[in-house]
Structure formats: C-alpha cells, structure tokens
Amino acid sequence: MDKPAKGTVRVTQIGSPIGRRKDQRQTLIGLGLNKMNRTKDLPDNPAVRGMIDKVHHLVRVEEGT
C-alpha cells in the first residue's frame, strides 16, 4: 500500500459496529467506513481527529509521512 500524503491520515476499520451505540455507528459512516477492513485517506484536522478519538477502539490509524 502507498503511504498517505502529508497532512492526511489513513483510517482502517478493524472492529464491528454491531452492538455499539448509534452515535459510534454514525461516526464510522461519517468517516466513510461502514464495512470491515475498509480504508480511507482523510485530511488530518481537528474534526477528523475528534471522530477518530470517538471510535478509536474500532479503527487503526496510520499517520502521514
């Protein structure tokens, strides 16, 4: 896989939203992650970081170079 561009983070869903609170499921959808092992490159900004923090137990984050 390619490295994420500078100023971005690569987020991969590693946990299932089944049995989680509705707001956590909606946060995954907001990040563009709604299926296991799906990966998105997102801008590294406070809004995205806050969403990642909310579902940190369901995602893996790779920093940009």
Q: Whole-prediction pTM value? A: 0.86
Contact (Cβ atoms closer than 8 angstroms) between residue 52 and residue 59: yes
User: In a 3-state reduction of DSSP, which class is residue 61?
Assistant: strand
pLDDT digits (tens, 9 = 90+) for 18-40: 999 999 999 999 999 999 999 99
The domain spans of the chain are 8-63
Give the ranges where 17-65 is alpha helix by DSSP (H): 22-30, 46-54
Provide the pLDDT confidence category of residue 61 given band limits of 50, 70 and 90. very high
**What CA–CA distance (Å, rounded) separates 39 from 14?**
10
Superfamily of structural domain 8-63:
Ribosomal protein L30/L7 (3.30.1390.20)
Residue 31 pLDDT = 96
Nearest to 8 by CA among 42, 31, 32, 53: 42
Q: Tell me the backbone φ, ψ of residue 58, rounded to 5 degrees.
A: -110, -5
**Does 4 have pLDDT greater than 70?**
no
